[in-house]
Amino acid sequence: MIRFEDVTKRYPDGTTAVGGLSFEVSEGELVTLVGPSGCGKTTTMMMVNRLIEPTSGRILVGGEDIAAVDPVRLRRRIGYVIQQVGLFPHRTVLDNTATVPALVGWKKAKARARAAELLELVGLDPATYGPRYPDQLSGGQRQRVGVARALAADPPVLLMDEPFGAVDPVVRAQLQDEFLRMQAAVRKTVLLVTHDIEEAVRLGDRIAVYGQGRIEQFDTPGAVLGSP
């Protein structure tokens, strides 16, 4: 579903964020990208939705070279969740969740019905939380709305950058559990960035272990843990 072929990204200041990356993620697979800060995880992920363009190499999504796909059209197929969720403060939780379906032309009633369904899926009662504003939610709840919003247009691919990074350990474990349950139901192809090896192991079907600018190991949690 996602395929990197010898991808390098060099920033204008000369920093090589990633060099010669090649890997493949299957449909419905959840791959965690783990490694220390600055090793190129976010750069890798942002190249998938063309927020960052590679310097060389090729990236395919669903068999298509994304360099040839209009970025706006591409992003409709790719949900994106970041740590600072970036909800619109003056829109209710329900309207925040309905943003993407509305953008891609769904009728308002259909977009809102879909948003309510998604809030339910991430464990937020739509009747209670739908009418609230983002600043009336806890950090963990905002994070859930971010996930619901990213899923709203039903994209086959989901990119998540430290999605559970901003919450305390108890809420984090809870969100991880719920996310695993949800993923079992929807089976998206997921790339999830984390600096936490425990999270990588817990969530990943496979783990991409980063060193500086490259993937040092790409394997199942068992194999990664078992390696010296």
> Which residue has its beta carbon closest to ligand ADP?
138
Nearer to ligand ADP, 64 or 168 (CB): 168
Our finding on whether 169 is near ligand ADP (CB under 6 A) is no
Beta-sheet strand order (sheet of 189-194):
78-82, 157-161, 189-194, 30-34, 206-211, 214-219
Binding residue (CB under 6 A) for ligand ADP from 26, 56, 84, 136: 136
Which tokens in the block code for residue 130? 């739908």
Q: Which is nearer to ligand ADP, 93 or 100 (CB)?
A: 93
Q: What is the largest CA-CA distance in the chain?
A: 55
| Span interacting with ligand ADP, options 10-18, 96-104, 118-126, 218-226, rule CB under 6 A | 10-18
CB of 84 or CB of 138, closer to ligand ADP: 138
The CA-based angle 160-166-169, given to 5 degrees, is 105
Q: Residue 51: what residue type?
A: L
Structural tokens at position 46:
């942002």
189 counts as binding ligand ADP under rule CB under 6 A: no
Stretch that binds ligand ADP, among 41-49, 54-62, 63-71, 145-153 (CB under 6 A): 41-49
Contact 164, 143 (CB under 8 A): yes
Based on the shown chain and the rule CB under 6 A, indicate whether residue 11 belongs to the binding site for ligand ADP. Answer: yes
Tokens of 125: 């009662």
Joined together, the tokens standing for residue 228 give 């010296």
* Contact status: 138 vs ligand ADP (CB under 6 A): yes
**Contact positions vs ligand ADP (CB under 6 A):** 11, 13, 15, 17, 35, 37-43, 135-141, 167-168, 171
